[in-house]
Amino acid sequence: MAYLFTSESVSEGHPDKVADQISDALIDNFLAWDEDSRVAIETLVTTGQVVLAGEVKSKIYLDVQKIARSVIQKIGYTKSEYMFEANSCGVLSAIHEQSAEINQGVDRKTKQEQGAGDQGIMFGYANNETENYMPLALDLAHRLLFELAALRRENGEITYLRPDAKSQVTLEYSDDHKPQRIDTIVISTQHDDFAPEAEMLNKITEDVKNILVPRVKAQLKPELQALFSEDIKFHVNPTGKFVIGGPHGDTGLTGRKIIVDTYGGKGAHGGGAFSGKDPSKVDRSAAYATRHIAKNLVAAGVADEILVQISYAIGVKDPMGIYVNTYGTSKVDLTDGEISAKIAEIFDMTPYGIETRLGLRNPIYAETAAYGHMGRTPKTVSKTFESSTGETKTVEVELFTWEKLDYVEKIKTAFSL
């Protein structure tokens, strides 16, 4: 019998994502000036207020208020009527030095012996539903909000949009787990108070159906475009009005959108958030590494769908173990346990091995903090940073290295594909 599966996404203006982006901008600034920085920063945003808290061990001192305001400005909170505005909001810093006891579990005489920054379990997942090896429902949910933000910045076809938004996509699957059609699309977008409520709702609904959705559909290959039909159920701003939003409408915290950040409920999640953490925290780095493994395995033809789990003890460099689940889609004559043993031979999963293989000591994290950490396009960009003394530094960095298909040939060789 056919079944339904749903994933959601949130925009860069969602209060939790505002918090994530501030935390990750601080990570980038610390790493740009001191690549050995140890950082764990949580951000809280609410009406007219930003609170920064956490632990740092670094050689550099930063103007954290200035960095936080620049992030808020870039997102689009630039008007006083939003009740949260880049230049006028308060920014309180309660950042202090990292615990020496945690530090002694991570640092070693050589970087190669570096221990894991925490205990925990991390998961990576990939399937072949999309060209980027991501679950389709989440991919569509992300695309809808990315285009909605583009329309807001263009301020042309749609002029009333504000930064906060959420999306949700429900797909119908066949018994053999193939997507058949889009059943439901939910869009909740913050907007100006520009007309009577019923008139606003009608206008926003029509613009979502006639402007936003066609722009997203045009990005997709024909077989995915075929999933769109006249029978899609739309729920646009289901409460009827969404003028009060952002941190004024709902307090935001770093790390509350871990399913949006990963696989939209497909596969599994170890529970650890990403944003605000330097790569010595395996919650982040090992989640990227397992995604890299899963994506390359699916791309190499080992299976159509793969989940990879890894676990660590704080201060210990070698993982406790690697687990693999191919959900019965394996294309090789090996058990899932045998596949995991080969993964351990191909990939160095020590914290130092992950950091160096994926270039995680670079300032690459601000771009991850909205629209998902996984399924993004690897690219090289130049980024400029300013110190608290006014000195500037421009670095060239490669983003989303864990999305590269650079181990496909090694995997094919190892699995005789």
Helix (H/G/I), strand (E/B), else coil: 88: coil
- Separation of alpha carbons 50 and 65, rounded Å: 9
Q: Which residues contact 329 (CB under 8 A, 6 or more apart)?
A: 303, 304, 305, 306
Within a 10 A sphere around the Cβ of 339, how many other Cβ atoms?
A: 21
Report whether 178 belongs to an annotated binding site: no
How is residue 64 written in tokens?
């954290």
Task: State phi, psi for 263 to the nearest 5 degrees.
Answer: -125, 15
Report whether 206 belongs to an annotated binding site: no
Report whether 318 belongs to an annotated binding site: no
Report whether 336 belongs to an annotated binding site: no
Report whether 266 belongs to an annotated binding site: no
Which whole-number Å values give the CA distances from 73 to 69, 89, 92, 156, 249, in the listed order?
A: 6, 11, 17, 20, 18
Report whether 20 belongs to an annotated binding site: no
How do strand 179-191 and strand 38-46 relate by DSSP bridges?
unpaired
- Separation of alpha carbons 305 and 330, rounded Å: 8
Report whether 96 belongs to an annotated binding site: no
Report whether 25 belongs to an annotated binding site: no
Report whether 14 belongs to an annotated binding site: yes
Q: Is the dihedral of CA 346, 351, 355, 358 positive or negative?
A: positive
**385-409: burial string, b at 16+ Cβ within 10 Å, e else:** bbeeeeeeeeeebebbbbbeeebbe
Report whether 289 belongs to an annotated binding site: no
Helix (H/G/I), strand (E/B), else coil: 304: coil
How do strand 252-253 and strand 305-312 relate by DSSP bridges?
unpaired
Owner of token pair 């090992």: 286
Q: Which residues contact 69 (CB under 8 A, 6 or more apart)?
A: 86, 87, 89, 91
Report whether 269 belongs to an annotated binding site: no
Q: Is the Cβ–Cβ distance between 137 and 170 less than 8 Å? A: yes
| Beta partners for residue 4, in sequence order | 172
Report whether 21 belongs to an annotated binding site: no
Helix (H/G/I), strand (E/B), else coil: 375: coil
Report whether 19 belongs to an annotated binding site: no
Report whether 241 belongs to an annotated binding site: yes
- Separation of alpha carbons 309 and 313, rounded Å: 14
Report whether 287 belongs to an annotated binding site: no
Q: Is 415 left (phi over 0), alpha (psi -120 to 50) or beta?
A: alpha
Report whether 317 belongs to an annotated binding site: no
Task: Provide the annotated binding site.
Answer: 14, 16, 42, 55, 98, 164-166, 241-242, 250, 256-257, 273, 277, 281
Task: Provide the annotated binding site for ATP.
Answer: 14, 164-166, 241-242, 250, 256-257, 273, 277
Task: Provide the annotated binding site for K(+).
Answer: 42
Task: Provide the annotated binding site for Mg(2+).
Answer: 16
